[in-house]
Structure 1
Amino acid sequence: MKKTLQSLTLAAIVLFANEQAKAQGCVAVRQMGGINAMSASSSYNLSKGEFQVGANYRYFHSWRHFVGTEEQPQRQTLGNAVNIYQHAVDINVSYGLSSRLQLNATVPFLETERSQTLTLTADAATKKLTRYSVSAGGLGDVRFGANYWLIKPENAHKGNIMIGAGIKLATGSYTATDDALQTDGTKKNVVMDQAIQPGDGGVGFSIEFQGFRQLHRNIYGFANAYYLFNPRESNGSFKSAPKAGLDGYNIYASPDQYFARAGLTTAVGKHQNLAFSLAGRFEGIPAYDVFGGQVAYRRPGYVVAVEPGVTYRKGQHTFSLFVPYNFIKNRIQSAADIADQNLQNSKITDPTKYVHVQGDAAFADYSISLGYSYRIAKKAKVPTWKVN
């Protein structure tokens, strides 16, 4: 039984450690802390009155441009690819209201740099490109959530299912500005692209699922997913001046987002404190929200990744490393693309000359996620003796 519980513990550790979606570059998938932040314990759940605190660090560099699933290698050849570098830290706190119900809070901080090019007026004849960088950072969108185990953990040693719900606040700036180079060589303070904004400007709510099952001895299967609903149509910040007939599509959206993950994990070593996992991931931003209007600008798309991971537990401490590699990158048509396409084609009488409008986006090949958490266990009651 002890060995089974140790394996179960590590299966849960890998399942619950570092389950946030990560920004992928120009497709601004925000970090989500609603997926349970628990990752270190002698059991896979928090007991009543127990706390767990931790932090997750993530990094990525996006630079490959795609239209649909087709890479645009000419962006590298021409030297005008947009490069995005992001560092993000989530501070996580979880509390057990009971052995089945936990409350979670996540406070994210981000720092993102965007490197891009333009042709100065003085270089118009030679078409020489000048590269410059802008950045935005600070507090992101704070999240709160509650998760509930469907089966009492005391009675579920080989598997369990958790469901949850959460709320995302609009605490992160979505109008952050920086000094951007202009074609005349001067700099102008302007609102940054939505891909590097710390927040999206919307109050959203999420639904979540997590589960794991023992398959054979210390081999476990696991799965988890969430969907973030962002009902606000747009956040009011302007991308650019509107095109004629396309009013509203120049204002940044507060988009929905989604994430799913499933895989296998196994524990090794004498005390089975070291676990390895391999999972598949699917995450992205849809072209249309489930609730709210659609007249706004976003770069929708998704990535499919293979994610190796390793987790180590020592007492109440847990350390984890996950490196998802994106082998499918897809920048899908947005509502703005389709509206522009329909507007242009409405002016064309020959169907053979209809145009297809679809923007591009830069994606990261991989990201790096480092996690740490500490379980603050309840202190055992010490009996007191009354001396007469």
Structure 2
Amino acid sequence: MFILVSIMGFHQLMAQGCVAIRHFSSCVGNTLENNLLGPGDIQVGSNYRYFKSFRHFRGTEEEPDRVSNETEVINHSHSWDFFLTYGISDRWYASITIPTVINTRSSLYEHGREERNTTFSRGLADIRAGVGFWLFDLEKNQNGNLALGLGVKLPTGNYNASDIFYNVGPNDGPQVRPVDQSIQPGDGGFGITLDFQFYRKIGEGFFVYGGGFYLLNPRETNGTRTFRETLSPILQNEAIMAVPDQFSVRAGISHLISSAISASLGARYEGVPVKDLIGGNAGFRRPGNVLSIDPGIAFIKDNFSLNLNVPFAVRRERPQSVTDLQTQEVTGEPRAGDAAFADYLINVGVSYRFSQNRVKVNPELMNQFKN
């Protein structure tokens, strides 16, 4: 997972909305200052993310009547990544990220369609650890460079978190069930993450940047029941939760405003694929993707860094899943599930570096990557 959040701590790549299955952020970012760790340097910090998903889509078409009829599903997601990155050498670094989440989900259909109720989950999510490497010498290639990373995701988060669901148990009473996949703290699978980030100077005070990750989840299903088959017999193929892959890529331009403040403007594309690259595709998942415009601003003073990014969605898609297509083939009727998406995310990151032998880099270059 490569520069795991400290490098990623600012310009984090994080999936948005219900299609995200659960909170996940890559180990990649675009804060060059945080990535230039000399031997023995330590970077610590935290990143907070919030979103509210409530706009329902099938394909790329929104269903506005869900909001007007007050039948929409509303997720509130709060997550905190606590990270530590260690400089192995001038070009190698290793990191670990410990994520925690607090989620709520309000809906009608999960509670007998009689009344709106809220389910809740919180706790440790899936821990990530990995290493990264800058391909070119940082002191000799200050106008551009590329870093690659490899990491693992551990199934430390609860993937069978439960709460009380109303009007669905015996005699239409309450019943304890696993919460929806979108607010489960973990996914139950060991994962492998491939990351990259790059930067390139394009003019005085201007740099282009980019980065991304792909999470491979070889495990097909995690054994947690969805209870979707109780909604309709044709949803038997969605009775167990899948362990899906996840991805995010972003790119943009960074510009220095003052000696301590910089701004950026970019785009990001992220989501959950219909099919995994490795392993099977059984079980229930909500595939989807979001294209967002991603403005940001950052402040760096000495070893302290603070930044804010607020990406807002301009295109949202919930494509047909494998189980949708299976059901469509069996019934002969069109089948396309929906998903709820957020309008925007709020990402706030803060970090502090304990320096030993700092890499000697032009201060002008460092200033460009305070976002």
Shared fold (TM-score, shorter chain, > 0.5): yes
Match of 2:281 in 1: 294
The match for 2:165 is 180
Distance 2:53 2:157 in 1: 22
Quote the sequence identity (%): 34
Contact 2:220 2:279 in 1 (8 A): yes
1:38 deviation in Å?
A: 5.9
Change (3 A) 1:63 1:246: closer
The whole-number CA distance in structure 2 between the counterparts of 1:80 and 1:246 is: 20
Separation in structure 2 between the aligned mates of residue 90 and residue 288 of structure 1, nearest angstrom: 27
Cα deviation for residue 304 of structure 1 reads 0.1
Q: Give the superposition deviation at 1:15.
A: 7.8
The equivalent residue for 2:150 is 165
Secondary structure of the structure 1 residue equivalent to 2:193: strand
Matched residue SS, 1:95: strand
Q: Is the 8 A contact 2:71 2:108 kept in 1?
A: yes
Q: How does 1:224-239 map to 2 (within 5 A)?
A: 224-239=211-226
Question: Does structure 2 conserve the Cα–Cα contact (< 8 Å) formed by 1:32 and 1:143?
Answer: no
Q: In the aligned structure 2, how far is the partner of 1:304 from the partner of 1:38?
A: 22
Alpha-carbon separation, structure 2, partners of 1:119 and 1:265: 44
Aligned to 2:77: 86
Structure 1 residues 33 and 226: CA distance shift in structure 2, 3 A:
closer
Q: Which of 332, 337, 344 does residue 319 from structure 2 map onto?
A: 332
User: Are 1:15 and 1:212, in contact at CA under 8 Å, matched by a contact in 2?
Assistant: no
Of the candidates 44, 53, 56, which is equivalent to residue 53 of structure 1? 44
Establish whether residue 153 from structure 1 lines up as the match of residue 144 from structure 2: no
Number of corresponding residues: 349
Paired amino acid for 2:205: N
Residues 141 and 23 (structure 1), Cα distance of their counterparts in 2 relative to 1, 3 Å cut: farther
- Match 2:191 to one of 204, 207, 210: 204
8 A contact 1:25–1:61 mirrored in 2: no
Residues 21 and 29, structure 1, Cα contact 8 Å, conserved in 2: no
Unmatched segments (≥5 aa) in structure 1: 1-12, 122-126, 346-354, 381-388
- Aligned position for 1:376: 354
Aligned pair partner of 1:138 in 123, 126, 131 = 123
Distance of 2:40 and 2:199 partners within structure 1: 24
Alpha carbons 2:108, 2:116 under 8 Å: kept: yes
Task: Supply the distance in 2 between the matched residues of 1:67 and 1:296 (Cα, whole angstroms).
Answer: 19
- Offset of residue 119 of structure 1: 9.8
Deviation sequence 1:42-70 (CA, Å, 0-9, x none) = xx510011100010000000110000111
Per the alignment, residue 193 of structure 1 pairs with 180
SS for the counterpart of 2:341 is strand
User: How high is the TM-score relative to the length of structure 2?
Assistant: 0.89
Q: SS in structure 1 opposite 2:108?
A: strand
Native 8 Å contact 1:39 1:318 kept in 2: no
* 3-state SS in 1 of match to 2:101: strand
State how far apart, in whole Å, the 2-side matches of 1:363 and 1:245 are: 25
Spell out the pairing of 1:13-162 with structure 2 (5 A cutoff). Answer: 17-28=10-21, 30-36=23-29, 40=33, 44-118=35-109, 129-162=114-147
1:38/1:267 Cα in 2 relative to 1: closer, same or farther (>3 Å)? closer
Measure the CA separation in 1 of the matches of 2:260 and 2:110: 55
In the other structure, the counterpart of 2:301 is 314
Once the two structures are superposed, what CA deviation does each residue of 1:126-173 show, in whole Å capped at 9, x if it has no partner? x8x521111111000000111100001111111110001110010001
Task: Specify which of 261, 265, 271 is matched with residue 254 of structure 2.
Answer: 265
Task: Name the SS of the counterpart of 1:153 in structure 2.
Answer: coil
**Paired AA for residue 268 in structure 1:** I
Which structure: larger Rg?
Answer: 1
Q: Superposition pairs for residues 246-285 of structure 1, below 5 Å?
A: 248-269=237-258, 272-285=259-272
In 2, the alpha carbon distance for the partners of 1:365 and 1:291 equals 31
Counterparts in 2 of 1:14 and 1:213: CA distance versus 1, 3 Å: farther
Residue type of the alignment partner of 2:21? A
2:262, 2:343 → 1: CA distance?
A: 25
Whole-Å separation in 2 of the counterparts to 1:220 and 1:370: 22
Contact 1:276/1:310 (8 A) holds in 2: yes
Three-state SS of the structure 1 residue aligned to 2:329 is helix
Contact 2:37 2:86 in 1 (8 A): yes
Q: Which amino acid aligns with 1:80?
A: T
Structure 1 residues 214, 20: CA separation in 2 closer, same or farther (over 3 Å shift)?
same
Structure 2 residue runs of 5 or longer lacking an equivalent are 1-5, 359-371
